[in-house]
């Protein structure tokens, strides 16, 4: 297990009761922790790939999460998009519960590299 794959503390278990969710900032990412009514725990990036809006505040039902903005639905265990609104999946994080604490593996967000004058080939002066 590399440093990138280490579980980090997210919150106490009581912070996300059954049928609720909460957003936490971890490694420069907004992580949405969702606990279904049945008690199953999920951690996803708080970003809907349809229009790059926060996805928190949506609805959980039968293992799926519906975005509050336009209703795109995603499978929580895999992030797979279940509607035509988004071809991209949600970003899912491994999550676990140990001794009353919720932990997740949340890799550091990659920073976009700035390349001065870096127009792709075919763009700009010839
Ligand atoms: S932003 Fe989520 S469905 Fe459009």
Q: In CATH, what number is assigned to the domain containing residue 37?
A: 2.102.10.10
3-state class (DSSP) for residue 88: coil
* Residue whose CA is at the smallest distance from ligand 1 atom 1: 51
The domain tally of the chain equals: 1
Residue 119 domain flag: no
Which protein residues are within 6 Å of ligand 1, measured from CB? 48, 50-51, 53, 55, 67, 69-72, 85
* Residue whose CA is at the smallest distance from ligand 1 atom 4: 70
Nearest residue to 55 (alpha-carbon basis) of 9, 13, 89 = 89
Q: Residue 104's pLDDT is what?
A: 98
Q: Residue 75's pLDDT is what?
A: 97
Residue 115 domain flag: no
Q: Residue 116's pLDDT is what?
A: 72
CA dihedral 36, 38, 39, 45 (to 10 degrees): -20
Cα torsion 77, 85, 52, 88: sign: positive
User: Distance from the CA of 119 to the center of ligand 1, in angstroms?
Assistant: 30
Residue 57 domain flag: yes
Which token pair is 89?
């999946």
Residue 9 domain flag: yes
Residue 89 domain flag: yes
CA distances from 86 to 68, 76, 79 (A): 14, 15, 11
Residue 95 domain flag: yes
Beta strands in the chain (DSSP E): 8-12, 20-26, 29-35, 41-45, 59-61, 64-66, 73-75, 92-93, 95-98, 101-104
CA distances from 34 to 79, 108, 124 (A): 13, 20, 46
Residue 22 domain flag: yes
Domain hosting residue 43, numbered range: 3-104
Report the atom number in ligand 1 closest to the C-alpha of 55. 2
CB atoms within 10 A of CB 90: 24
Residue 121 domain flag: no
Report the atom number in ligand 1 closest to the C-alpha of 51. 1
Can you give the pLDDT of all 126 residues of the chain as single tens digits?
Answer: 565 689 999 999 999 999 999 999 999 999 999 999 999 999 999 999 999 999 999 999 999 999 999 999 999 999 999 999 999 999 999 999 999 999 999 998 877 777 677 666 676 665
């Amino acid at each position: 297990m590399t440093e990138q794959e280490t579980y980090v503390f997210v919150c106490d278990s009581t912070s996300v009761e059954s049928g609720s969710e909460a957003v936490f900032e971890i490694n420069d990412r907004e992580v949405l922790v969702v606990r279904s009514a049945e008690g199953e725990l999920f951690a996803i990036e708080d970003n809907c790939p349809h229009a790059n809006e926060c996805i928190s505040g949506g609805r959980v039902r039968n293992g799926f999460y519906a975005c509050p903005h336009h209703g795109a639905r995603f499978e929580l265990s895999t992030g797979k998009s279940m509607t035509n609104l988004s071809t991209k999946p949600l970003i899912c994080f491994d999550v676990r519960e140990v001794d009353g604490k919720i932990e997740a593996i949340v890799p550091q967000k990659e920073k976009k590299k700035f390349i001065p004058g870096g127009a792709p080939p075919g763009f700009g002066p010839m």
